[in-house]
Amino acid sequence: MPKAGIIYNDIKPTACRVATELKDQLINAGWQVCLTTGVGGILGYSDCERPVCHTPIEHLVPAGFDSEMAFAVVLGGDGTVLAGFRQLAPSGVPLLTVNTGHMGFLTETYVNQLPQAMEKVMAGEYEIEERTMLSIRLFQEDTLLWEALCLNEMVIHREPLTSMCHFEVKIGRHSPVDIAADGVIVSTPTGSTAYALSANGPVITPGIPVLQLVPICPHSLASRALVFANTEPVTIFPATPNRLVMVVDGNAACYVLPENRVRVEKSQYPARFIRLQQPEFFRILREKLGWGLPHIAKPTSVELP
């Protein structure tokens, strides 16, 4: 009996309803179904009183979501998609992402198109697009304190009411550099249209094997976004006496203390997207972010009343 999975946002009534309907549809078609929520992809928060508080990356995979699963369906918005990949990337299960939210930048189809999409997926009529994920690890000397998988970006920033920070950043074998800023972002190409875009980073098409480093509100005209090969690991040392906050995909978070270091590198686990048609990244940029829309000509003359 073939097996499929469903991950849904349990705080959205539409996602809950569709998850139940889809489960019944798959069971009636002879499929074994595993059901879980996106909550399992929301990682724990570290605590200064209890800093060793992480969940190992591979332990986030829900029960039953293994290599025998043909595919899984994610029902929600972009946040649920990010949580879903943190849960399933280690198992290699490809995901069909269905938008029940607002922006839906990472989703492949919509709820009203789900019946037709499921016909194609159950028949195996789809392609798989692999996207880079990041492995984020927080260390104190050689002790691993916290870790996470990341599809969009990792951000280290100052806490409210504290001053600007200094970060010593080492990329691969290159000499470390000092960045004075409110924070730094390390982003994948997928995340280049998320927080990194808001911080004036470039948009990077998904197939390019690079990462980018983007300072947040830097205190220097020389500190600008840097794009580099994704084979280069990044190590960040907080050169500041204040504790910092690290946020992964806008979801999981932990404190970074002055004696800590953060290591960011390309994960061995890619995000595997189910694509029902050839991916067209520029179309998504145009539809979701308005990129490349034609300018409307202004009138040559205006008659005053």
> Helix or strand or coil: residue 82?
helix
Here the tokens at position 132 are: 């880079």
Q: Which of 153, 164, 132 is nearest to 253 (CA)?
A: 153
Q: Is 269 annotated as belonging to a binding site?
A: no
Among 10, 66, 78, 178, the one annotated catalytic: 78
Q: Is 196 annotated as belonging to a binding site?
A: yes
In whole angstroms, what is the distance from residue 211 CA to residue 180 CA?
Answer: 20
Residues near 17 by Cβ (< 8 Å), separated by ≥ 6? none
> Helix or strand or coil: residue 284?
helix
In whole angstroms, what is the distance from residue 238 CA to residue 246 CA?
Answer: 11
Q: Is 195 annotated as belonging to a binding site?
A: yes
Q: Is 127 annotated as belonging to a binding site?
A: no
Here the tokens at position 253 are: 């978070």
Q: Is 79 annotated as belonging to a binding site?
A: yes
Q: Is 95 annotated as belonging to a binding site?
A: no
Q: Which of 129, 131, 215 is nearest to 180 (CA)?
A: 215
* Annotation says 78 is catalytic: yes
In whole angstroms, what is the distance from residue 129 CA to residue 215 CA?
Answer: 29
Q: Is 197 annotated as belonging to a binding site?
A: yes
Q: Is 194 annotated as belonging to a binding site?
A: yes
Q: Is 292 annotated as belonging to a binding site?
A: no
Quickly count: other Cβ atoms within 10 Å of residue 266's Cβ.
18
Residues near 81 by Cβ (< 8 Å), separated by ≥ 6? 74, 95, 97, 106, 107
Q: Is 230 annotated as belonging to a binding site?
A: no
Q: Is 249 annotated as belonging to a binding site?
A: no
Q: Is 112 annotated as belonging to a binding site?
A: no
Which residue has 């980073």 as its token pair?
201
In whole angstroms, what is the distance from residue 140 CA to residue 56 CA?
Answer: 16
In whole angstroms, what is the distance from residue 164 CA to residue 161 CA?
Answer: 10
Catalytic residue positions, numbered = 78
Which residues are annotated binding-site positions? 78-79, 152-153, 182, 193-198, 251
Which residues are annotated binding-site positions for NAD(+)? 78-79, 152-153, 182, 193-198, 251
